[in-house]
């Protein structure tokens, strides 16, 4: 779901010596696998409360959800990096701007159609949502304009959006009257009623995510420096973001609307400390996720791990993976539910806890088993498509 840097530079039999930035594909592939865990849990869980609610959760359940917090920031940050690298390697700014604009709108369209039905089989469109492809798509549209600015200006805008958007947490949409909907799109998640009986929930608000993509674009300049210097920059930046998170979070002054607090046990106190707001992503949430993610990129830049080669396949076809895995999980869910709920199983909104049957769902070990089966099934499909893209240079393939 991010721009491709190249498709012909890597040979599957010699990936350890490829000129391609394998570290980025490995990072992206790892994110895809973690995302699949999150969505498997969404569809199959027997838990009817938020797994990050420290008053109800347990450590394994919390961490199973928390580890997937790294996905959305990485997706959008990587999309910005890939846009910069695409400009440097093969596209001028006018071509890149056009591509970002078209691809961004295409992702929004996919979110509201193919992906929406993958989540919920409801032909009446009584309920829809703005998810991660919505955020990536509109962020690309904005980046299509921003790339005409100097890279430092883009970095400044991105950092200001990330660090400053929590200053507006106190602003409520209802204070803006008829512009309430716009504030929901930009900053405050909200359920909007577009027409009678037609609800549209804004999950991924745009201001902070635009900031992440813009910052990712500027971050791409790191890959223009010599490798030893790049490694040093990646290590320092990753550690600096983690350190900034710890200091700001400990002080409970700014960066997240939900302060951490002492819990009955030490382990739950730690969970409270790292339980930051994702919707919209707070400053601390982004520091907490992007810092370790950049350190992982540092490790992938420093050493190529042979046993991680499957991640490389997933990382080359992220949008294809994203769409197929949602439909596969949902169809698998229906097949398992049919004997218990009949045809009703086809239309159950499995991802909405309040609408699930009270007796529905599986425990965490079973969910992890389903997740591993899903990854095994997806590998040959994604590998086929990755090879197909290498041997077929149709322009439309850039959009899937």
180 vs 169: CA distance, rounded Å? 14
For the chain, how many residues are written?
A: 400
Mean per-residue pLDDT, 67-96: 92
Tell me if residue 195 falls in helix, strand or coil: strand
Cross-strand bridge partners of residue 129:
201
Tell me if 130 is assigned to some domain: yes
Q: What is the span of the domain harbouring residue 241?
A: 12-399
383 in a domain, yes or no? yes
Residue 346: inside a domain: yes
> What contacts 24+ positions apart, CB below 8 Å, involve 184-189?
185/130, 187/280, 188/280, 189/279, 189/280
More confident residue, 91 or 129: 129
Supply the pLDDT for residue 20: 56
Does the model's pTM come out above 0.75?
A: yes
Q: Within a domain: residue 3?
A: no
- Distance separating alpha carbons of residues 193 and 206, to the nearest angstrom: 19
Q: What is the mean pLDDT of the chain?
A: 91
Q: What are phi and psi of 15, to 5 degrees?
A: -70, -20
- The yes-or-no verdict on residue 35 having pLDDT over 70 is yes
CA within 13 Å, CB half, 99: 22
Q: What angle do CA 330, 336, 341 make, to 5 degrees?
A: 100
Any domain includes 4: no
SS3 326: helix
Instruction: Determine how many CB atoms are found less than 10 A away from the CB of residue 342.
Output: 9
Using a 10 angstrom Cβ sphere, with 0-12 exposed, 13-18 middle and 19 or more buried, the burial of residue 265 is exposed
Kindly state whether residue 2 falls inside one of the protein's structural domains. Answer: no
Domain count, the chain: 1
**pLDDT, greater one: 353 or 370:** 370
129 in any annotated domain? yes
Q: What Cα–Cα distance (Å) separates residue 169 from each residue in 5, 256, 259, 396?
A: 36, 9, 13, 41
Domain assignment of residue 336, yes or no: yes
Q: Which helix (H) or strand (E) holds 201?
A: strand 198-202
What confidence tier does 16 reach under pLDDT thresholds 50, 70, 90?
Answer: very low
Please give the structure tokens belonging to residue 104.
Answer: 């961004």
| Chain segment 192-245, per-residue pLDDT in tens | 988 888 899 999 999 999 999 999 999 999 999 999 999 999 999 999 999 999
Sign, CA torsion 145/150/156/158: positive
CA 231 to chain centre: 24
Contact between 9 and 19 (Cβ < 8 Å):
yes
Q: How confident is the model at residue 258 (pLDDT cuts 50, 70, 90)?
A: very high
Which carries the bigger pLDDT value, residue 90 or residue 84?
A: 84
Residue with the larger pLDDT of the pair 41 and 396: 41
**On the CB side of 400, how many CA atoms lie within 13 Å of its CA?**
17
CA 245-249-252 angle, 5° bins: 150
What digits encode the pLDDT tens for the residues 315-331? Answer: 999 999 999 999 999 99
Mean pLDDT confidence for 289-306: 92
The confidence score (pLDDT) of residue 123 equals 85
């Amino acid at each position: 779901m991010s721009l491709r840097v190249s498709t012909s530079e890597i040979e599957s039999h010699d990936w350890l010596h490829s000129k391609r930035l394998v570290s980025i594909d490995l990072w992206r592939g790892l994110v895809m696998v973690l995302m699949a865990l999150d969505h498997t849990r969404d569809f199959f869980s027997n838990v009817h409360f938020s797994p990050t609610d420290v008053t109800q959760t347990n450590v394994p359940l919390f961490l199973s959800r928390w580890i997937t917090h790294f996905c959305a920031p990485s997706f959008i940050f990587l999309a910005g990096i890939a846009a910069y690298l695409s400009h440097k390697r093969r596209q001028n700014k006018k071509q890149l701007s056009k591509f970002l604009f078209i691809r961004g709108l295409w992702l929004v369209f996919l979110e509201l159609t193919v992906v929406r039905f993958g989540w919920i089989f409801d032909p009446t469109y009584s309920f829809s949502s703005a998810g991660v492809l919505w955020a990536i798509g509109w962020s690309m549209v904005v980046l299509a304009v921003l790339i005409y600015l100097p890279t430092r200006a883009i970095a400044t805008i991105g950092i200001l959006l990330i660090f400053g958007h929590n200053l507006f947490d106190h602003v409520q949409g209802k204070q803006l009257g008829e512009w309430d909907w716009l504030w929901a799109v930009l900053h405050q998640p909200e359920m909007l009623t577009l027409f009678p009986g037609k609800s549209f929930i804004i999950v991924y608000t745009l201001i902070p995510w635009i900031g992440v993509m813009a910052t990712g674009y500027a971050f791409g300049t790191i890959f223009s420096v010599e490798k030893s210097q790049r490694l040093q920059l990646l290590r320092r930046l990753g550690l600096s973001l983690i350190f900034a998170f710890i200091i700001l979070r400990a002080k409970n002054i700014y960066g997240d609307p939900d302060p951490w607090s002492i819990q009955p046990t030490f382990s739950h106190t730690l969970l409270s400390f790292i339980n930051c707001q994702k919707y919209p992503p707070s400053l601390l949430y982004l520091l907490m996720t992007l810092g370790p993610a950049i350190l992982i990129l540092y490790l992938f830049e420093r050493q190529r791990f042979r046993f991680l080669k499957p991640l490389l396949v997933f990382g080359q076809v992220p949008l294809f993976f994203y769409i197929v895995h949602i439909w596969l999980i949902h169809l698998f869910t229906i097949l398992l539910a049919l004997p218990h709920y009949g045809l009703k199983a086809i239309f159950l909104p499995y991802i909405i806890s309040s609408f699930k049957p009270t007796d529905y769902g599986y425990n965490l070990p079973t969910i992890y088993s389903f997740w591993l089966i899903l990854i095994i099934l997806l590998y040959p499909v994604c590998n086929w498509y990755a090879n197909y893209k290498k041997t077929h240079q149709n322009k439309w393939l850039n959009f899937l």
